[in-house]
Structure 1
């Protein structure tokens, strides 16, 4: 079964150092699901600044783990940055949240976290 995250870039960055990869995976588990929850609540409450800040913070990690949702995350980020009150970003937000949830479960299992 294909994973919902990829380690190609991370292995290159880590020069295949398993301890470093483990540390990166641990950091993902500690930060990204919590940030995803903050993002969800910020969007629900139309807190544009927090939406922008949280999505912006998440971008490098989402990109590094190649979750395949960077474009959706950027739409959410821009919604917050530009305060696009009339734009519906529900589909993009749900895509981001679902991908993070799937990747989190797989990383926990794969790295025995």
Structure 2
């Protein structure tokens, strides 16, 4: 079994360890991330800088809140989108996507 990819300590602290609030936050994360990851993937594939920036910026705080290292990859994507750089961002997106997909599976299992 893979190790858990997420860390709920920030949400636990924010909620004063309220299990209903934690479950609500996890549910919102699962719902939003599923949609936003698909939109980000499409934007990356199409090299649509405006939407890469939009979705990377949107998901970054949630990734940080759930303790995901993909936060750094989202930051790279966001910076790329704001620049004219010709950098290949596929590896950054791949890491972010893999970690997030695994996290979503784990959260669905755990909650």
Q: TM-score range by the shorter chain?
A: over 0.9
Give the total of aligned pairs. Answer: 110
TM-score between the two structures when normalised by the length of structure 2: 0.95
- Written as runs of structure 1 = structure 2, the 5 A alignment for 1:12-27 is 12-27=13-28
Which residues of structure 1 form unaligned runs of 5+? Answer: none
Paired residues of 1:48 and 1:83 also in contact (CA < 8 A): no
- Written as runs of structure 1 = structure 2, the 5 A alignment for 1:3-82 is 3-82=4-83
Structure-1 separation of matches of 2:15 and 2:3: 22
Which residues of structure 2 form unaligned runs of 5+? Answer: none
Write out the 4+ residue segments of structure 1 that deviate beyond 6 Å after TM superposition: none
Shift of 1:50: 0.6
Structure-2 separation of matches of 1:90 and 1:9: 29
Aligned to 1:102: 102
